[in-house]
Structure 1
């Protein structure tokens, strides 16, 4: 028996449906998210607590997103100084030989992103390659939003959903399903690559179609525009000439070596996720300091502050619209208990997980229905923007379905894992794909909309393939 759904579940589900509808209509979701937070609070608490909950949920969301805001802001600051001093020109020159067209740029960036993400996870990989590959791609005509789509689908999609090297995701799902990790990995290989091939090819076709029609143009939101950014202006010509050509080449080599050292340290010390991002962030700050002092000499101290301010202005401008929607979806998990107290029935594991369990207990059991239920459950648990919070649940549900069906536990587990991570890890939840969007200087909601059709088609095709493998 599943847990009994109470008013909080229905309020949350209703707001989610309305949010999806608003996104389809390309309308702003901030008001609806704040209303949802208030309604969740007022369902079990006083009006005063509900009003306070709005502010507290924003604080919770900012805490959860802070490390991402910081790394993006720092990377943006470094990007500015590298572009202004001309070092970036030297760094991207090797890639311009390989990326000779928008098509080659799309696939080159995606494959590089996927390989690095297998070893270090996507967030550090985005920061590591975005600064160098974005200008090279733009130079051959690939718009920033297409670069963000490529990095996101290959990194947060293909690499993270399989997680073949680090194996954090398959370990969680395998433990919940009661099977060896290798079984989940083996079962996920065909599904991951079917999902990856369908989504990336579909996204590529849509990008080419929009480029030809003129709907998609090669412009940035401001991150790599010459001159000013976010209201700050620079004397681009005089600052570029502050370094000689040999100095630019030397700094380009040193910066590349430092990041390669970071890669080796991550590998040998097995740094993942937040630890890898912290190492990359610290290295980036040191490079920013050194380049600023070298390029601006007497004005170096002041310029360091300007670049950092510039980066933080960009970071918070990008995250501003995201915080309200993230605050609402975090309430689907642990944030609800932290902000509103013990307001759920006994045995509840959070609103999102309860909805997934309820779905699994209300459908007939056979291979097609089992596959469809695991995909839907995985997608629902991914709505919190984590991708990992619900994959233990899909492992448990896969175990239940496999007993009734008589086979397919590894395939069902892998399918649920793929759905949860592609949705929440993520490619269509706006705040989950902020790293790629921010590095490319584009709106994360626009990237999410562009990913939506390819990901839905991919999930549909992958589900059909999984039915034949169960």
Structure 2
């Protein structure tokens, strides 16, 4: 059933275009998002007081949705600071320095490890597992922190999450909506996932190397290490690194990876995924932080534990501060609208972004090439809410409609819509969705989104063309 588009839909689209335009111009978009929230609210309610309140309520909603990610990032950073200041980090990364000797090896090794771990446990816990250990290794061999974030982001939140071959949450949603067996969608998605992944990661690496050679991107210019070491000079860092004996550092260097490895085993045995897996990683990081602090600072361990946590939370909220207004605006495109502003959308509305996807599908001719282009467009539009998953059921439904009219290609179209939605909304383009990788690596999430934009768009174009021949 076609939903009639209202002024709210067109306002939302207009502000999306404005936000994209400002991001391309490297300008901050927080004010634009706040104005967008206000205009949507006053258009819907007609009440000035409700609209002003709506801005604040949208912030609360966004913070609530993002809180688990903010917490785990803050805790991981607090632990990383303790590791670096006590010198344990140097012992931990020494084995990897023998394996990763060049920026190219760092990029591809981190990316492939991220992809494999993400297949089993999803990307957020994988980022936490890999980032704290491999970021310093990569930077030492010349790969900038932004390059590390791109590798983890594109391979984890891109390739692994869009295919979701092991956990199968994404293909289950799209397959059910399209009326297809899950394995049929997974089989159809394999060539598309790997075409998208290969094109995007190779193009991203080429651009990365080009900017490194030109001097536009240098190692250490944007990195978590600036936060971790703070304003300490070399002499002060040397004194602090002597808080533990070499043998104690070696014990911790073995114990910490072992504890995280046990987390991986627990995730597998207990079938922990997504938020549960992230919580396990976060709890383990707190436990490690306490052990290190007590061992290193002895009598002052109680106070130092709190000090590290405070600095971790300061870092977490500093990173997320600019993201919250943007997240608040984009959440209005989904179920957040009703919860924040109220029941002001049309009766049969599925949310603003889903309505726009249905509207797009209803005005295009039904043939294989247009079907493929439309499913990519619908997937990308529904991914704008930053979830990646909220709109993939719609992609499955529209794929079923197109395949019925075309007479073939249901599984391929379903897989294509799923891939587009998750690459855009699951964590490679929408700024708050890629926060975990950006925060662990200490890079600007908006800069990471800009870096990902062209490779992902090129990947989507190539993948859409390939899908046309598979339908």
Q: TM-score range by the shorter chain?
A: over 0.9
Q: CA deviation at 1:235?
A: 3.5
1:282-431 to 2 correspondence within 5 Å? 282-431=283-432
Contact 1:74 1:281 in 2 (8 A): yes
Q: Which residue of 2 aligns with 1:15?
A: 15
Q: Distance in 1 between matches of 2:369 and 2:315?
A: 46
Q: How many residues align?
A: 470
> How big is the shift at 1:345?
0.8
Does the 8 Å CA contact 2:145/2:223 hold for their aligned counterparts? no
Q: Deviations over 1:420-441 (max 9, x none)?
A: 0000002011100000000000
**Cα deviation 1:57-110 (Å, max 9, x = unaligned):** 000000000000000000000000101111111111111111100001000000
The 8 Å contact of residues 220 and 440 in structure 1, kept in 2 or not, is answered as: no
Q: Which moved more, 1:378-387 or 1:243-252?
A: 243-252
**Partner SS, residue 224 of structure 1:** helix
Q: Is the 8 A contact 1:38 1:53 kept in 2?
A: yes
- The 2-side partners of 1:139 and 1:233 are apart by 17
- C-alpha deviation, 1:229, in angstroms: 2.8
Which residue of 1 is the match for residue 196 of structure 2?
195
Q: Could you tell me which residue of structure 1 aligns to residue 122 of structure 2?
A: 121
Normalising by structure 1, we get a TM-score of: 0.98
8 Å CA contact retained: 1:223, 1:229: no
Distance 1:343 1:117 in 2: 39
SS across alignment from 1:365? coil
More divergent stretch after superposition (53-62 vs 244-253)? 244-253
Q: For residues 232 and 437 of structure 1, do their structure 2 counterparts lie closer, same or farther at Cα, with a shift above 3 Å needed?
A: farther
**1:234 Cα deviation from its structure 2 partner:** 10
Any idea what the Cα deviations from partners look like across 1:326-348, whole Å, max 9, x if unmatched?
Answer: 00000001111011111011110
Unaligned runs of 5+ in 1: none
1:88 and 2:89 correspond: yes
Task: Give a deviation string over 1:171-208, Cα, whole Å, max 9, x none.
Answer: 00000000000000000000000000000000000011
234-243 or 274-283, which moves further after superposition? 234-243
Question: What's the secondary structure of 2:225's corresponding residue?
Answer: coil
Q: Do structure 1's residue 211 and structure 2's residue 201 form an aligned pair?
A: no
Q: TM-score, normalised by structure 2?
A: 0.98
Separation (CA, whole Å) in 2 of partners of 1:185 and 1:212: 39
Deviation at 1:222, TM superposition (A): 4.9
State the 4+ residue runs in structure 1 displaced beyond 6 angstroms: 230-234
Q: CA deviation at 1:231?
A: 9.9
Contact in 2 for aligned 1:230/1:313 (Cα 8 Å)? no
- Structure 2: tracts of 5 or more residues without a match: none
In structure 2, distance between residues paired with 1:230 and 1:116: 35
Q: Secondary structure at the match of 1:43?
A: helix
Q: Does 1:42 align with 2:74?
A: no
Contact 1:232 1:310 (8 Å CA) reproduced: no
- 8 Å CA contact retained: 1:118, 1:164: yes
Alignment deviations for residues 139-158 of structure 1 (CA, whole Å, 9 cap, x no partner): 00000000000000000000
8 Å Cα contact 2:323/2:431 also seen in 1: yes
The question of whether the paired residues in 2 share the 8 Å contact of 1:220 and 1:441 is answered with no
CA contact (8 A) 1:230 1:310 kept: no
Q: CA deviation at 1:219?
A: 1.2
